[in-house]
Amino acid sequence: MKDLTQGKEGPLILKFALPMLLGNVFQQLYNIVDSIVVGNFIGKEALAAVGASFPIIFAFLSLIIGIASGSTIVISQYFGAKNIEKVKRTIDTLFIFLFFASIIVSIITIIFSEDIFKLLKLPEEIIPTAKIYFNIFMGGTIVSFGFNGTSSILRGLGDSKTPMYFLIMSTFTNIGLDLLFVIVFKWGIAGVAIASVISQGGAFLTAIIYLNKNHKIIQFSFKNLIFDKKIFRKSLHIGLPTGIQQTFVALGMMALIGVVNTFGTNVIAAYSVAIRINSLATMPAMNFASALSTFVGQNLGAGKSERVQSGFIATLKLSSIISLIVTAGVLLFGNFIMGLFTNDSEVIRIGQEYLMIVGSFYIVHTAMFSISGVMRGAGDTIIPMFTTLISLWLVRIPGAYILSKHFGEKGIWWAIPIGWMIGLVLAYIYYRTGNWKKKVVI
C-alpha cells in the first residue's frame, strides 16, 4: 500500500504509474499475441472474427468494470482519510457485486451472441468463427471480473506493483497456452479463447491465495463478506457514469466496426490488428490518468487539495513525453508492426494507413485523459461521461459514416482524432471552472 499524500508529486505519480503501465502492457501483449497466433496460424478470416468480437466484449464488460471503478475512488478517498474499516466494507461490497454481475453478463451474452453479430452486419462467413471465440471468452466473465476487480482495489490502496506481477504471470501463461492449443493441439480459434480464460482464472486464483495470506486489508472469503448498501450507493454514484460512458464508448466501437464491416474482410482484418496496436500505444496515457485519479482521490480525502494541480501538471508532462515517443515509433515502424500479424500485403497497407492517421494525434488523446483523471479522482464522473459521449456519438460516429462515403476507410480513421480533439476542448473548459472540486465523496 502506498500513501500518495506525502512527497514530491511527480516522482510519486511516476513510481505509482510505471508498474500499472508495465502490467497493462503485458496484458495488451497477450491480446496482441492472440492476434499474431490467429493471423499467422489460422488465417485472416479468424483474425477478423477476433477483431469483430473485441468491441462487443468490451461493451458488455465495460458497464460493470466502470461501476466497479467507483469503488476504487471510494477506496482511495477512505484510505487517504485513514478510515480502514470503511475501506474493508467497500472491498466486500465490490466483490459481492462483481460475482452476481458476472453471472448475469455471461448468460445474456452467450444467448444473444449470434444475433449481435448479425446486427453488426458481420459477413456471414465470419460469424461461426466469431461466435466460438466470443462465447468461450464470455463464459469466463467471472474470472475476468474477479481479476480486474482485485487489481482495481489494490490500485485504490496505492499498490500498483502486486497487480503488475499477476498480470505478467497471466500474460506468459496465455502466450504459452496459445502456442500449445493452436499450433500443437490444432484447436483453432477455440484454443485462443480457452487460453485467455485459463490464464485470467489462474492469475485471479493465485492473487486471492496470495492476498489472503499476506495482505492486511484484503481477505477474500464469501462467508465473511458484508454488503453495505450505503457504500454501494456512493460507489454507484461515482461509478455508474463511468460505466455508462465506457458502455457507450464500446457501443460506439461497435457502431464504428459496423461501418468498417461494409468494406470487407481485408479492412476488417486490418482494423482488428490496428486497434490492438492502438490499445497498446494509448496505454501510457490511460495508466498515468488512472494513477492521477488515485493520487487526487487520496489527497482530497486527506484534505490536501493544494497538491492536485501540481500532480496534474506533472502527470501531463510525463505522459506527453511518452506519448510523443510512442507516436514516433508507430509512424516509423507501422509497416513492420503490421507485418508481425499477417503476411497479406493489402491488410498490412490498410493497417499502416490507420496507424499513420490515428497515431499522429496520440498527444491529444493523452491530454484529454489526464484532465479526465483529475475529475474522476475527485468523484466527478458525470462531466467526463458527457464529454466522451459528445465527442464519440456526435462527432466520431457520424464523422466516420459521412467521411467514409467520400474517402473510403480513410474517412473512418480520420474521424477518430477529430473526436479526440473535441473531447479535449470540452474537458479543458470544464476543468477550468473548478466545479469538480466540490464532488468529493467523503
pLDDT digits (tens), the chain, 442 positions: 566 778 888 888 888 888 878 877 777 776 777 778 888 888 878 877 887 787 788 778 777 777 777 788 788 778 878 888 888 888 888 888 989 999 999 999 999 999 988 887 788 888 999 999 999 999 999 998 888 888 878 877 778 788 888 888 888 898 899 999 999 999 999 999 999 999 999 989 988 888 788 777 777 776 778 889 998 888 888 788 778 877 887 788 778 888 888 888 889 889 988 988 888 888 888 889 988 988 888 888 778 878 888 899 999 999 999 999 999 999 999 889 899 888 888 999 999 999 999 999 999 999 999 998 888 888 777 888 888 889 989 999 999 999 999 999 999 999 999 999 999 999 999 888 878 777 665 5
Confidence at residue 325, expressed as pLDDT on a 0 to 100 scale: 95
Give residue 43's region: left, alpha or beta (phi > 0; psi -120 to 50): left
Q: Is residue 4 part of a domain?
A: no
In whole angstroms, give the CA distance from residue 84 to residue 352.
Answer: 50
The amino acid present at 367, given as its one-letter code, is A
Q: What are phi and psi of 229, to 5 degrees?
A: -65, -40
Q: Is residue 241 part of a domain?
A: yes
Which helix (H) or strand (E) segment is 393 a member of? Answer: none
Q: In which domain, by residue range, is 172 found?
A: 9-439
* Cα 271 → chain centroid: 18
Q: Is residue 28 part of a domain?
A: yes
Cell of 362: 496520440
In whole angstroms, give the CA distance from residue 366 to residue 426.
Answer: 14
In whole angstroms, give the CA distance from residue 274 to residue 267.
Answer: 10
Cell of 331: 509512424
**Residue 81 buriedness (CB in 10 A; 0-12 / 13-18 / 19+):** middle
Cell of 65: 468494470
CA dihedral 81, 439, 64, 18 (to 10 degrees): -60
Alpha helices in 160-228 (DSSP H): 161-178, 189-214
Which residues does 12 contact at the CB level (< 8 Å), separation at least 6? 4, 295, 311
Q: Which of 363, 223, 347 is nearest to 284 (CA)?
A: 363
* Cα 259 → chain centroid: 22
* Cα 209 → chain centroid: 25
Look at the block and give the residue holding cell 496520440: 362
pTM of the model: 0.71
| Cβ neighbours of 328 (radius 10 Å) | 12
Which residues does 425 contact at the CB level (< 8 Å), separation at least 6? none
Which residues does 61 contact at the CB level (< 8 Å), separation at least 6? 105, 141, 144, 145
In whole angstroms, give the CA distance from residue 414 to residue 137.
Answer: 31
Q: Is residue 392 part of a domain?
A: yes
Q: Which of 299, 227, 236, 287 is nearest to 77 (CA)?
A: 299
Confidence at residue 181, expressed as pLDDT on a 0 to 100 scale: 94
Q: Is residue 223 part of a domain?
A: yes
Cell of 320: 506527453
Give how many domains the chain has, as a whole number.
Answer: 1
Which residues does 340 contact at the CB level (< 8 Å), separation at least 6? 36
Cell of 121: 452486419
In whole angstroms, give the CA distance from residue 158 to residue 179.
Answer: 35
| Cβ neighbours of 304 (radius 10 Å) | 14
Which residues does 166 contact at the CB level (< 8 Å), separation at least 6? 23, 147, 151, 203, 204, 206, 207
Radius of gyration, CA atoms only, the chain = 21
Q: Is residue 170 part of a domain?
A: yes
Contact call for residues 137 and 53 (beta carbons, < 8 A): yes
Confidence at residue 358, expressed as pLDDT on a 0 to 100 scale: 95
Q: Is residue 3 part of a domain?
A: no
Q: Is residue 1 part of a domain?
A: no
Please report, in angstroms and rounded to a whole number, the separation of the first and last CA atoms in the chain: 20
Alpha helices in 42-83 (DSSP H): 44-80
